[in-house]
Amino acid sequence: MTIGAFTAVQSASADVSVQQQQDEAHQRFQSLSQDLRGQLAGHWFDASAGKLTLAVPSENAARQAREQGANAVVVQRSAADLDKLLADVKELIGDGVPGVFSWGVDVRDNQVDVTVNTTRKTEATERFLEKVRALGDGVHIAETRSQQRQQAGTVQAGSPWWPGSETYCSVGFAATDANGGKHFLTAGHCTNDANQAAYGQTGQQNRIGTSNVGGSRSVNAREGDMGVVAVTESGWNLSAAVNTYGSPAITVTGSAEAMVGDRVCHSGNTSKWQCGEVKYTNKAVDYGGGLVIEGLTWTTACSKGGDSGGAWLLGDKAVGLHDGGPSQCVQNPTNDADLSIFQPVNEALRKWNLTLVTGSGDTTAPSAPANARSTGTTASSVSLAWDASTDNVAVTGYDVYNGSTLATTVTRTTATISGLKADNDYTFTVKAKDAAGNTSAASAAVTARTRPGAADGEAPTVPANLRSTGVTASSVSLAWDASTDNVGVTGYQVLNGSTVAATVTSTAATVTGLNADTAYTFSVRAVDAAGNQSKLSAEVNARTSGNTGGRTFTNDTDYPIRDYQVAISAVRSTATGSAKNPITVKVDATHTCLEDLNVTLVAPSGRAYPLMRTPGGGYSCHPFPADRTFSVVPGAGETASGTWTLRIGDNGPGDTGVLSSWSLTV
């Protein structure tokens, strides 16, 4: 039996939460004041912050931007400066220069970019480049050895992709990470090489991104056959649609674990769309040359070389990534050597903490917010409240509109709209929204009049003496001295770098969700009721600790242990240094037949440590003992940090159980 060649998926839908943030950023841009718009040198959506970002020429404009709900970057060149530079470049290009295939403004870097295909350079190109360099550092020249062609930029399951200059693989499933980064899953034997370019076309054309970033996103060993490609190139989007090669595309709605007897189908660039029956789960394969892979699912579906990494489906649920098969397509095989094999997809998602891209199954909008009302006014602000909306899944937030303009977005049922004119009438409405992007009808309109008198235009003083008061592996606690204001300070914004990480009313905050053993830089600004913001405080640097809870890590989530399936549970160790000798594993599980079970610990390095093995042959069943403890001697060089995985495979019929919890001491 030979390993099937590579297969890949192109997909085109964005992660729901990121899409919501993008929609909000677009609405925010449309609501900017004309005065601020006239000062912009550019604008963009910052995915890391989830907000609209504006390039502005001054600190005063930056303050206006923040007051209107956007992040701001003060830049050197105005829009007029950039337009002049671009016009100069266009004049030099005229009807064309050999090798020059793109030019335009890069708003993030506040410059004009010119890109040149060096394989097509001539003396005319060199003369052009000499003149462009004379325009100054506002023009950036990038050189490549290829250039774009017209194409569709969609990463869809079952379509091909090319690892570097190698033969093609197939795309598995699109997925996103915790920060909204785009990826797709595929076979580990397609992603063996670290930091290898991934392309959407043969001949190293149409780059998608990078395979096996950092060398830690590919496994082709006992643990499994799975890998990740980071989708980093602009124009490539993720999709939940699976290519069925001639039939209507199937939209992935979630993931599942296949069981024996299931009818499953797979999409790959060579054999296209093929279906069959699951014959085995949790079965190992020995490909020779020392390559043994455990925990795979075997099926009667036809496959060919080039299908590797492609998508396996159970209905509309993702179940696997194509691993291998026979040297030729065999329909209705009777010999196990002719079966096709796949890697369960959930294991790959868990290993790299990725979220499967799925089609939206929630189309029900929340109810309209009721009892919208004004709860207070100042000369420059109106405070509002309303009753909570309901939803079939969950309400995630509320959009508050000033007339037809989005004024603010909140997660609670109150809001204060600031920056208003004194002694003026305003009309507000509120809409609820859910995680799928469904938006309710508007609430009843609320009309309120700001108080007469001059609006508060004075900002609070800068918070002083910002300091770190404690750290854990995932949090930093901060404190500072109170600011003062001519009317009153209403709160403080704590920034992690340039991103608002917390908003509090006291002079202390704890920023959570941080990475272990990582340096962070924080600052604080004060805010008053009129929306005036102080300047940022002096920065304070803090580093999270290296581990929590000593060197013992626990997963208390229940995982069912079913016949002929594998229960997989992972823990993330933040312990530093080498793994202790021995490693201790405690397993709390119930099962009526421990003799049916294989229990394996898989290290972050990919090494698999058997803890218990099915004896084989005739045997009597005994229940799995409570709080079973295993000791493991780690291999040379095994480090403690990373994701450790416990796998319990049930190889017998007629009984069930539950993995209640397990702990690892490294």
CA 460, distance to chain mean position in Å, is: 37
- Is 382 in contact with 374 (CB distance < 8 Å)? yes
- 225 part of the active site: yes
Question: Out of 15, 31, 159, 189, which one is annotated catalytic?
Answer: 189
- Collapse the DSSP code of 554 into the 3-class scheme (helix H, G, I; strand E, B; otherwise coil) and give the result: strand
Token representation of residue 571: 């823990």
Please tell me which residue in 170, 211, 239, 308 is annotated as part of the active site.
308
- CA distances, 563 to each of 5, 257, 258, 615, 625 (Å): 31, 12, 11, 16, 19
Give the pairing type, strands 642-650 and 597-602.
antiparallel
**Strands (E) located in 403-518:** 405-410, 414-417, 425-434, 446-449, 464-471, 476-481, 489-496, 499-504, 508-511
**Residue 323 falls in the annotated catalytic set:** no
Q: What's phi and psi for 365, nearest 5 deg?
A: -80, 150
Strands 224-231 and 205-211: antiparallel
CA–CA separation, 74 vs 70, rounded Å? 13
Element (H, E) at 520: strand 519-528
The tokens for 653 are 């019929």
Three-state DSSP at 327 gives: coil
Residue of 345, 363, 362 lying closest to 354 (CA atoms): 345
Catalytic residue among 15, 225, 338, 434: 225
How far apart are alpha carbons 153 and 640 in whole angstroms? 40
Placement of tokens 């599942």 in the chain: 256
For residue 1, give both structure tokens: 């039996």
Q: Are strands 254-255 and 317-324 parallel, antiparallel or unpaired?
A: parallel
660 part of the active site:
no
For residue 356, the tally of other CB atoms under 10 A from its CB is 20
- Residues belonging to the active site: 189, 225, 308
